[in-house]
Structure 1
Amino acid sequence: MKNKTLIIYRVVTVLFSLMIFMGATMYLVDHENVVGKFETLGFPPNLIYFMAVAKYSGLVAIWQRKSSTLTEWAYAGFTINLLLAIFAHVNISDGEAPGAIVALVLMAVSYVFYKKNQAKK
């Protein structure tokens, strides 16, 4: 049973990580387009680089095996980020909220299985 929870954790966490990684990379690669989206959402464009670094750092924190406190904080940060993203996209009705919802669900499943695996150690 331990292997099953570990496999589910890793698969879901990889999918979540890919979504976050691709989004953060888009912040850097397609910066001008992202600036326009941030302005449409009502966010200052100077947050873009900070958000990219925060997302990459959060992924490192989730995958590292040294500090469970750091992992917990990363999950908390992603929860706040994704909830704000959902509400911002719903607020302007741009149709992009489903992506953030999928990421939030993947993150929640990842967290649940992270905790299950932690309890079995």
Structure 2
Amino acid sequence: MTKRNKIIYWIATLWLSLGMVSSAIVQLSNVQEEVDMFTRLGYPIYFLSLLGVWKLLGVIAVLIPKFPLLKEWAYAGFFFSMSGAVFSHVVSGDDAKAVFGPSLLLVLTVISWFFRPADRKMIFENP
């Protein structure tokens, strides 16, 4: 892995982790603005806690060494969660401001996944 790719990976991964942890804290704290948004989007309030816990566990999985399968699942969860958030905001007619945060986290998820080092990837052997 080149030095440039390592830098890209770590910048994207750290920003992704920061975004996921901060949004998880907001969701686990049941901040009224977040509760109102989830209600408006049609999601049950208990989903806030579920997403918050999954995001924290996903960040841990992405940052710790080894466990490449667990990392794949975490990246997949981030991708599904953020693409679902983008879709939910767009379908509900929200403005670009509401779509920006999840879109940024979606892009960071893809960049972090794409540039991850070889020791953080699944290795598939031919039978």
Partner of 1:45: 45
Partner of 1:104: 106
Partner of 2:81: 81
Structure 1 window deviating more from structure 2 (78-87 vs 16-25): it is: 16-25
Percent identical? 33
Any idea what SS the aligned residue of 1:35 has? helix
Q: Deviations over 1:38-69 (max 9, x none)?
A: 11011000111111000000000101112000
TM-score under structure 1 normalisation? Answer: 0.90
Q: Deviations over 1:67-98 (max 9, x none)?
A: 00000000001111011100100011222112
Any idea what SS the aligned residue of 1:66 has? coil
Mapped pair 1:91 → 2:124: no
1:30 Cα deviation after fit: 4.7
C-alpha RMSD of matched pairs (Å): 1.9
Mapped pair 1:57 → 2:89: no
Runs of 4+ in structure 1 deviating by more than 6 angstroms, as ranges, are: none
Higher helix share: 1
Tell me, in whole angstroms, the C-alpha distance in 2 between the residues paired with 1:97 and 1:107. 15
Partner of 1:25: 25
Specify every segment of 5 or more residues in structure 1 that has no aligned partner in the other structure, as ranges. none
Does the Cα contact within 8 Å between 2:89 and 2:99 map onto a contact in 1? yes
Partner of 1:9: 9
Specify every segment of 5 or more residues in structure 2 that has no aligned partner in the other structure, as ranges. 122-127
TM-score under structure 2 normalisation? Answer: 0.86
1:28 Cα deviation after fit: 2.7
Tell me, in whole angstroms, the C-alpha distance in 2 between the residues paired with 1:98 and 1:34. 15
Does the Cα contact within 8 Å between 2:35 and 2:45 map onto a contact in 1? yes
